[in-house]
Amino acid sequence: MRVYILSYFPDALKVTSSCAWATISDKPAPEIIESLNYRKQLKMIRYAKIMRLSSVLDFPYYIISFADVSRCFTHQWVRYRIAAHMQQSLRYVKVNANNYDWFIIPLSILKTQDPTLIASYIKNILEYGKLYLKLVERGIPYEDARFILPIAVKTHISTAMDAEEILHVIYQRTCMDAQWEIRIATLTLYTGLLAVHHEIFSGWGPSCIVDGICRGRGKGKCLSDVKRMLNELEKHSYKIRSMLEEAKNNDIIQYDLTNILGYKVPDKVKEEVYELLGYRVHLDYEVKLYIRKIT
């Protein structure tokens, strides 16, 4: 999985808070923006988050992209409609089903560490890929041949979304009850946004963190795990922030979160899977964050 933060307003805190303070001032935002100190900026953003002031949090905008994700993920992601989405179209793009890296293997399958089960999953997926290619070779349009493709097929999607909607996504999808792929994507995005705009996104998380109420099926049993995860990711966000500060405008920094959010299959299991398949397949589930420096 690759998560990209492509664009954002670098002075979002300053501009947004000045517009918010202007609503209770006799002066318009342009006349108070330069005199508004950091303490007052932070106070307004915190108040907006506590009171759920959508008119304030609608102002900061972000353009993000996800790659090496499944259609299962994007079917969930596009449900967030207070946003604009542009996704790879399989009506026009031919899936390269000749290789062994065009689909996602769920973590639950990899974590069984059962070589037979993992190999069986891969073999069956590849059969669908072979049939897809046969249909294309027979002149069947991509848009019809894609009907045979599994929901595991890799895709990529770009989204424009404001801070309020992203906070809503984080509130729902960082819950341990969320489906694993969208949870990992959201946690990765959250880590990057903490580095970009810590004041806007800090202290946020699922309902157990924000409201002190468990809305999942865990009945609060996973609270300590959630706190540990968010604290660890926040520590990494400070490292990422330092990298951003040192980067030049338009540089894209990369940060590997595989050891925290992804999964590395034990070498012994990999070798047994390769032996069953007769060829090598990339089995590790890697999670990488990319942020474009904007000044």
Contacts of 118 (CB under 8 A, 6+ apart): 105, 109, 110, 112, 269, 273, 283
Closest CA to 182 of 265, 287, 260, 292: 287
**What DSSP character marks residue 285?**
B
Report all structural domains of the chain as residue ranges with CATH numbers, in order of start: 2-292 (3.30.1360.170)
Catalytic residue, candidates 173, 217, 228, 280: 173
Separation of alpha carbons 201 and 184, rounded Å = 17
| pLDDT given at position 220 | 80
**What was the pLDDT predicted at 218?**
77
Give every residue of the chain whose pLDDT is below 70, as ranges.
none
Residue 85's alpha-carbon distances to 1, 165, 252, 258, in angstroms, are 18, 13, 22, 26
Q: Phi and psi of 63, rounded to 5°?
A: -115, 120
In Å, how far are 136, 224, 251 from 5, measured between CA atoms? 35, 29, 12
146 is catalytic: no
**Count of residues making up the chain:** 295
Question: In this predicted structure, what is the pLDDT of residue 201?
Answer: 97
Give the largest Cα separation in the chain, rounded: 74
Q: Residue 5: what pLDDT?
A: 98
How big is the CA angle at 126 (ends 122 and 129), to the nearest 5 degrees? 150
Sign of the CA dihedral with 32 first, then 241, 210, and 176 last:
positive
CA distances from 216 to 76, 152, 192, 261, 262 (A): 17, 25, 25, 20, 22
CB-based contacts of 262: which residues, under 8 Å, 6+ apart? 1, 184, 284, 285, 286, 287
Listed as own residue / partner, the contacts of 276-279 with beta carbons closer than 8 Å and 24 or more positions apart are: 276/115, 276/116, 276/119, 277/119, 277/122, 277/123, 279/100
pTM: 0.96
Please report the pLDDT score of residue 61 as a whole number: 96
277 is written with which tokens? Answer: 């398949």
Give CA–CA dist 160/183, Å, rounded.
Answer: 19
Q: What is the pLDDT of residue 217?
A: 85
How many of the other CB atoms lie within 10 Å of CB of 190? 23
What is the SS3 assignment for 120? helix
